[in-house]
Amino acid sequence: MAGTYSHTIGPRDIDSTRRARIAALGDIVLGAANDDADSLGFGVSDLNLGNASWVLSRLALEARRLPERGERIDIYTWVSDYGRVMTTRNMTLSSEPGSGGEPGDTQGVWGAAVTQWAMIDLDTRRPLDLSALSNKGTSLVDREPPIERPRKVTPLPDECFGERTVLYSDIDFNGHVGSMRYVEWMMDLMQAEWLRGAAEGFRLDINYLHEATLGETLTIARADQTRFEIRNATGVAICRARFVTGETGNRR
Verify binding: residue 171, its own copies, rule CB under 8 A. yes
Verify binding: residue 219, its own copies, rule CB under 8 A. no
CA 13 – CA 208 distance, rounded (Å): 23
The continuous run of DSSP H or E covering 27 comes out as: helix 22-40
Residue type (1 letter), 199: A
The continuous run of DSSP H or E covering 187 comes out as: helix 179-187
Residue type (1 letter), 114: V
Mask for 53-72, x = binds its own copies (CB under 8 A): ----------------xx--
Q: Which is nearer to its own copies, 57 or 250 (CB)?
A: 57
Q: 111, 122 in Cβ contact below 8 A?
A: no
| Binder among 160, 167, 233, 236 for its own copies (CB under 8 A) | 167
| Binder among 96, 105, 148, 184 for its own copies (CB under 8 A) | 184
| Binder among 83, 135, 154, 173 for its own copies (CB under 8 A) | 173
| DSSP category for residue 100 | T
What three-state secondary structure class fits 95? strand
Name the residues that contact its own copies, by CB under 8 A.
Answer: 8, 10-12, 14-16, 18, 21, 23, 27, 30-31, 34-35, 38, 44-45, 69-70, 167-169, 171-175, 178, 180, 184-185, 187-188, 190, 195
